[in-house]
C-alpha cells in the first residue's frame, strides 16, 4: 500500500449533506415517493455553506481520511457540459483536505443522477458507459493527483435492487431484464472509469463500495428458508465479489431471472474491495407468485434494533470481511455505522465493530482502512432526517453542529489502528 498508514476515516455523500438544486432524487421527493412522503432534502445538513468548518471537524475525530462524493447534477448540469465553477469548488474541497493531511476518497456515483441522464436512457442504455467515462475523466482532471482513492460506484447491487427491481428509489422500475442490463453497463462503466482515472492519476487506487449484509434463514428448520437465504446471499454479497475475482457475473434473482455475462478488464479495474456493512437480515420463503420470499430484521440478541430498524450484529461484520477476502484484493471498509439517538448505543457499536476489525487484522486480513458513516447527521435516502448517524449532531433548524461523545471514542479507537499500521504515534498528515 502506498499510503503509510491505516486509513481511519469518516464518510459522507454529497446529496445527503448538501442537497442539489435538481436531480432524480429531488424529483422523487416532489412525487412524494419517499417513505416519509412530505420530506424534502433541501440543503441537506447545510454542508455547502459550511464546508470549511465541517472539514475542520475531521481531524478533531482523529481521522486521517475522508470519503466524500461528487454530485453529478451539479458538476455536469447538461449532458457533456461541465460547470467550471462547480469543478473548482470540488477542487477547493479536496485541496483543503490534502493541506490538512487528510486523505480524500472520492465517490463518483452515490445513488443520485442528473435528470438528463434518465432522459438519455439511464443505465439500460449502453451510452451510459461512455457518458460515465467522460464524467470520471473530467472529475479526475479537475481534482488532480491529490485524490488517490476513488470509488466509482456506491452499492451498485443495492441501487439495482431498489431502483430497477423494487421500485423503491429512482428510476423506480421493477423489471429483472432492465436490472440485468443496467448491471452490465454499470460494471463496464466502472471498468472504463478506472482506466481514465488511472491515465490521469498514476498510482490511483480504484474500487466499488459494496454493501454486504449477513444472511440467516428466518426459520432454521426450514429448508426453503435456508435455500432462499443462500440465494439471497449470492445475489447480494457473493456475485459481485466473484465478478471482481473472475470478470464473470452470474446474477440470479429467485423467481425473476438470471443474468450471466463477462466484463473484460473488470478484475484489473479493482484495486480494492470497498465494504459497507450495517446489519443482518432474516429470509423467509413465501412462494407466492411474484414474491418468492421476504426479509426482515430481527433482534435475537436483544440489543435493541437501531433507529432505522436494523439489527446490531457485529458477528456479521466478521463474516462479511472474511467473505470479501475471496475477491483477492485489499479491503477498505468504506462504510459502517448506526442510526441512534442514544449515543451510548453508538459507542457500544463502535467498540464492538472495532474489536472485529482488530481481530481480522490480527488474523492477517488485508484490511487497509475503516470509514465510519457518518461524520454528521444527514438526509437518509428512504427515511429523511429522522435517523441520526453522525459523530456530530445537526440541529436542522439552525444547522448548528454539536459533537457527540462518540466522536471522542472514535478518535481514541483510531489511535490504536493508525499506530499499529506504521509504528508511530499518529499517521495523520504523513505522506
Ligand atoms: C448506505 C449508503 C449511505 C447511507 C447509509 C446509511 O447504504 O451508502 O449513503 O445512507 O447506507
Residue range of the domain that includes 310? 7-430
CATH of the domain at 60: 3.20.20.80
Q: If you ran DSSP here, which 8-state letter would residue 136 be given?
A: H
Q: What is the mean pLDDT of residues 126-132?
A: 98
- Residue 338 falls within a domain, yes or no? yes
Q: Is the pLDDT of residue 427 over 50?
A: no
Per-residue model confidence as pLDDT tens digits over 296-343: 999 999 999 999 999 999 999 999 999 999 999 999 999 999 999 999
Identify the band that residue 424 occupies on the pLDDT scale cut at 50, 70 and 90.
very low
User: For 107-122, what is each residue's pLDDT tens digit?
Assistant: 999 999 999 999 999 9
* Average pLDDT over all residues of the chain: 95
Residue 324 in domain: yes
Does residue 1 form part of some domain? Answer: no
Rounded distance from Cα 176 to ligand 1 centre (Å): 23
Residue 2 lies in a domain: no
Overall number of domains in the chain:
1
Q: DSSP per residue over 176-211, as a string?
A: HHHHHHHHHHHHHHHHHHHHHHHHHSTT-EEEEEEE
Atom from ligand 1 closest to the CA of residue 381: 10
Does 203 map to a domain? yes
Q: How many CB atoms lie within 10 A of CB 298?
A: 14
Domain membership of residue 101 (yes or no) is: yes
Per the CB < 8 A criterion, the answer to whether 80 and 24 are in contact is no
**How are beta strands 205-217 and 149-154 bridged, if at all?**
parallel
Confidence at residue 3, expressed as pLDDT on a 0 to 100 scale: 45
pLDDT at residue 291, as a whole number: 85
Which residues are CB-contacts of 243 (< 8 A; sequence separation ≥ 6)?
A: 187, 249, 263, 266, 267
150: Cα separation from own chain's centroid:
12
pLDDT in tens, 346-383: 999 999 999 999 999 999 999 999 999 999 999 999 99
366: in domain: yes
Ligand 1 centre from 386 Cα, in Å?
14
Question: For residue 261, is it within any domain?
Answer: yes
Choose between 64 and 34: higher pLDDT.
Answer: 64
Q: Which atom number of ligand 1 is nearest to the Cα of residue 155?
A: 8
- To test the ligand 1 pocket, which listed residue (17, 380, 382, 391) has its Cβ within 8 A of the most ligand atoms? 380
Cα-trace Rg, the chain = 20
Summarised one tens digit per residue, pLDDT across range 3-21 is: 458 999 999 999 999 999 9
Amino acid at each position: 500500500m502506498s499510503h503509510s498508514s491505516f486509513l481511519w476515516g469518516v464518510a459522507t455523500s454529497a446529496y445527503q449533506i448538501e442537497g442539489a438544486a435538481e436531480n432524480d432524487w429531488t424529483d422523487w421527493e416532489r412525487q412524494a415517493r419517499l417513505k416519509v412522503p412530505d420530506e424534502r432534502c433541501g440543503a441537506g445538513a447545510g454542508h455547502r455553506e459550511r464546508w470549511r468548518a465541517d472539514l475542520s471537524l475531521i481531524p478533531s475525530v482523529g481521522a486521517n481520511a475522508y470519503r466524500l462524493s461528487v454530485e453529478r447534477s451539479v458538476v455536469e448540469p447538461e449532458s457533456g457540459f461541465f460547470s467550471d465553477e462547480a469543478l473548482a469548488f470540488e477542487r477547493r474541497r479536496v485541496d483543503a483536505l490534502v493541506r490538512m493531511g487528510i486523505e480524500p476518497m472520492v465517490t463518483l456515483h452515490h445513488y443520485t443522477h442528473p435528470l438528463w441522464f434518465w432522459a438519455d436512457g439511464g443505465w439500460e442504455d449502453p451510452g451510459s458507459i461512455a457518458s460515465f467515462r467522460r464524467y470520471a475523466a473530467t472529475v479526475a482532471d479537475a481534482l488532480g493527483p491529490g485524490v488517490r482513492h476513488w470509488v466509482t460506484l456506491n452499492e451498485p447491487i443495492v441501487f439495482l435492487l431498489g431502483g430497477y427491481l423494487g421500485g423503491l428509489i429512482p428510476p423506480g422500475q421493477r423489471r429483472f431484464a432492465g436490472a440485468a442490463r443496467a448491471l452490465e453497463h454499470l460494471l463496464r462503466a466502472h471498468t472504463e472509469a478506472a482506466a481514465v482515472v488511472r491515465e490521469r492519476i498514476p498510482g490511483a487506487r480504484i474500487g466499488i463500495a459494496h454493501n454486504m449484509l449477513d444472511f440467516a434463514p428466518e426459520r432454521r428448520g426450514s429448508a426453503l428458508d435456508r435455500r432462499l437465504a443462500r440465494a439471497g446471499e449470492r445475489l447480494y454479497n457473493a456475485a459481485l465479489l466473484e465478478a471482481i475475482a473472475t470478470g464473470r457475473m452470474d446474477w440470479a434473482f429467485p423467481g425473476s431471472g438470471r443474468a450471466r455475462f463477462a466484463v473484460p478488464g473488470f478484475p484489473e479495474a479493482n484495486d480494492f474491495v470497498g465494504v459497507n456493512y450495517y446489519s443482518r437480515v432474516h429470509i423467509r420463503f413465501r412462494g407466492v407468485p411474484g414474491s418468492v420470499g421476504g426479509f426482515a430484521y430481527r433482534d435475537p440478541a436483544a440489543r435493541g434494533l437501531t433507529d432505522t430498524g436494523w439489527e446490531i450484529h457485529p458477528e456479521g461484520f466478521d463474516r462479511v470481511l472474511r467473505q470479501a477476502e475471496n475477491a483477492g484484493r485489499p479491503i477498505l471498509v468504506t462504510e459502517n455505522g448506526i442510526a441512534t439517538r442514544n449515543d451510548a448505543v453508538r459507542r457500544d457499536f463502535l467498540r464492538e465493530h472495532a474489536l472485529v476489525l482488530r481481530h481480522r487484522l490480527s488474523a492477517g486480513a488485508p484490511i487497509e482502512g475503516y470509514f465510519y458513516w457518518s461524520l454528521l447527521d444527514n438526509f437518509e435516502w428512504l427515511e429523511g432526517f429522522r435517523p441520526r448517524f453522525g459523530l456530530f449532531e445537526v440541529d436542522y433548524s439552525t444547522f448548528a453542529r454539536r459533537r457527540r461523545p462518540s466522536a471522542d471514542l472514535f478518535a481514541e479507537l483510531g489511535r490504536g489502528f493508525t499506530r499499529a499500521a506504521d509504528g508511530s504515534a499518529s499517521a495523520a498528515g504523513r505522506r
